[in-house]
Structure 1
Amino acid sequence: MPNDVPRPRVTLEQLHTFLSVARREHVTRAAESIHRSQAAVSEQLRLLERTLGLQLLERVGRGVRVTAAGREIEHAAGIALRATQDVEQVAAEHRGLRTGSLAIAASNTTGVHRLPGWLASFAATHPGLDLRLRLANTAAAVDLLRGGDVDCAVVEGPFETAGLEMLVLEEDDLIAVVGATHPLAGTRRPSPSALAAHRYLAREAGSGTEALAARVLGRAYGRSASLELGQAEAIRAGVLGGLGYAVISRTVVADDLAAGRIVALPLRPARREFTAVRRPAALAPALIAFWRHLDEVRVNR
């Protein structure tokens, strides 16, 4: 692949040395100011003039004088060195998290019901950071991470873990539920045939929730007519509206369970984990700080 950025032949050390001499018009004084020997300064000047093919300085008595070409090079060198200071300043601001960005992919449940709270305290302590959150199902969120589109992902349910670093944040139960007025509400233990008589509200393929739904429903899984809904909140609304039964995160319907609007069916829940994931080589300061923050969230729960 062709490189469209030319490689400089002039070094920053040469430019810095030349500017020191040009501003003092004296080699010895310049050498003292930059803590170099006079011989080292003279060598840097010689290399710079040879590289550029120009005479930049001329002897005048015990000092030196900048040539006409040297004055133009002096101006350009000042711009170049100020640009390197800008580079160092930007790097310092990123290290200090006064600026920068962090892109996060989150699966539906964590992205809506957990991550905003975790992000709030992080954002409050890092007001200069730009934060971007992308919602996707677990499989898609992990794909975004592997593809380098985001810095980290926070997901639930099973996924391919090879080559990724993980941090378990919290455990969650998937439960089978119906609306309070649904015919299955209050049944002691619905049989597969009883469940099959009602519509199943499903998540899409790739969802961490759907990947574990069969564990909750057992032999009943796949026997009902289904309605696929792409969001946990849409499934919750469908359950509340009496559309059918669903397997959903206890976190999503906790308030509805407490208020009696939704009823948990007496089937064994499936335990899963909310997990933060990143690429092991990812060392961006913003990501390191966020990872540390998530670890503190986990420990303090």
Structure 2
Amino acid sequence: MEILKMRVTLAQLEAFFWTAQLGSAQRAAQHLNLAQPTLSLRLKDLRGALGHDVLERTGRGSRLTAEGRALLPRVTAIMAELRGIGGADPARDVAGPVRVGLAEGFAVTCLPPLLAGLLEDHPALQPEWVVSTSTTLEQALLRDTLDLAVLLNPIGDERLRLTPLGGQPTSWVAPAAWDLATPVSPRDLWSLPVISNPPPSAMHRQIMRWFGGSGLTPTRLSICTSVAVIAELVAGGIGAGLLPMPMAARYVAEGTMQVLTAEPRVENGLLVMAYRTGVDDPKVLAVTRTIARVMQAIDYVES
């Protein structure tokens, strides 16, 4: 007796696509205005037609199997073709959670316009923002606990795709009450209190490289994990620091912080967009495009 093989349908592929995008059958059903049992049946029929699982349950949601990860780019292309035929707005079809990491010094100034940009470009996206040091974010990308990140001076790994955004203007700053004469050299600062992120952060590497060029090491170095707290400590008269210029601008305007011209000059940090090599997730690619657009619009980086 001949066994008829089930056919793959567009309805099944649509159910798979949105479940993969949104992370659960329940959210996919809501997005498609379907009853959840209807969507679940379509996923079951797709599994039967393919002969293997493309999704597996995890807690309250679903995640792709290896076969599902291989299938998703092909289904994404099909969905894009359908949108083109129907004249739909592709921005409305990029939806669901996406985990985005931002280096803290960058996030303090740039997170508000990035939020506004994503709401404008892709209102159905649900970004989950993680703000930390670049080295912490880089490790999170490699562990697959982040989808993409904006990093400062990353250490680099062949498993990550890095796209330069530009230089982050950076300068030594000190409490205004110190009233230091400029330009300052490593010998002027090496015995004064200096506050830095912990090693091997980008800030710590920049500071040690600047002093090390003159054969010096700061003797009163304090460690703080938060760039924003370091800015408050500098403004409060505790020590000098190395901060992004846009972040320091408010304190300079308030008269609590002094920007120090340095000799030798401080190298600007390089901001890069990073995600895992081989990733073809429409959500990740959509966020990278918006970040690049917003960075150009607000003129944050230097070439």
Q: Which residue does 1:214 correspond to in 2?
A: 208
Are residues 1:274 and 2:268 paired?
no
Classify 1:13/1:249 alpha carbon distance in 2 versus 1 (closer, same or farther; 3 Å).
closer
Rg larger in structure: 1
Q: Which residue does 1:226 correspond to in 2?
A: 221
Are residues 1:153 and 2:153 paired?
no
Q: How many residues align?
A: 229
TM-aligned CA deviation for residue 228 of structure 1:
0.9
Classify 1:175/1:82 alpha carbon distance in 2 versus 1 (closer, same or farther; 3 Å).
closer
Classify 1:12/1:176 alpha carbon distance in 2 versus 1 (closer, same or farther; 3 Å).
same
Secondary structure of the corresponding residue to residue 294 of structure 2: helix
2:147 and 2:197 map into 1 onto residues whose CA distance is 26
Per-residue CA deviations over 1:219-253 (Å, capped at 9, x if unaligned) read: 37523212211111111111111111112221210
> Runs of 4 or more off by more than 6 Å in structure 1?
none
Give the partner amino acid of 1:249.
P
TM-aligned CA deviation for residue 266 of structure 1:
2.6
CA contact (8 A) 1:176 1:216 kept: no
Unaligned runs of 5+ in 1: 1-8, 16-77
Classify 1:211/1:193 alpha carbon distance in 2 versus 1 (closer, same or farther; 3 Å).
closer
TM-aligned CA deviation for residue 98 of structure 1:
5.3
Are residues 1:254 and 2:249 paired?
yes
CA contact (8 A) 1:195 1:224 kept: no
Return the TM-score normalized by structure 1: 0.65
CA contact (8 A) 2:138 2:154 kept: no
2:143 and 2:43 map into 1 onto residues whose CA distance is 35
1:173 and 1:160 map into 2 onto residues whose CA distance is 21
Give the partner amino acid of 1:171.
G
Are residues 1:116 and 2:112 paired?
yes
User: Which of 238, 242, 256 matches 2:233?
Assistant: 238
Classify 1:251/1:83 alpha carbon distance in 2 versus 1 (closer, same or farther; 3 Å).
same
Classify 1:298/1:178 alpha carbon distance in 2 versus 1 (closer, same or farther; 3 Å).
closer
TM-aligned CA deviation for residue 181 of structure 1:
0.4
CA contact (8 A) 2:94 2:286 kept: no
TM-aligned CA deviation for residue 159 of structure 1:
1.7
CA contact (8 A) 2:175 2:236 kept: yes
Give the partner amino acid of 2:127.
L
Tell me how large the CA RMSD over aligned residues is.
Answer: 3.5
Classify 1:146/1:140 alpha carbon distance in 2 versus 1 (closer, same or farther; 3 Å).
same
CA contact (8 A) 1:203 1:230 kept: yes
Secondary structure of the corresponding residue to residue 218 of structure 2: coil
Are residues 1:180 and 2:199 paired?
no
Classify 1:273/1:191 alpha carbon distance in 2 versus 1 (closer, same or farther; 3 Å).
closer
Unaligned runs of 5+ in 2: 10-38, 47-54, 56-71, 84-89
CA contact (8 A) 1:106 1:134 kept: yes
1:150 and 1:115 map into 2 onto residues whose CA distance is 17
User: Which of 250, 254, 259 matches 1:264?
Assistant: 259
> Could you tell me the percent identity over the aligned residues?
18
Secondary structure of the corresponding residue to residue 270 of structure 1: coil
TM-aligned CA deviation for residue 103 of structure 1:
0.6
Classify 1:12/1:254 alpha carbon distance in 2 versus 1 (closer, same or farther; 3 Å).
same
Q: Which residue does 1:144 correspond to in 2?
A: 140
Return the TM-score normalized by structure 2: 0.64
Are residues 1:198 and 2:192 paired?
yes
Classify 1:276/1:195 alpha carbon distance in 2 versus 1 (closer, same or farther; 3 Å).
same
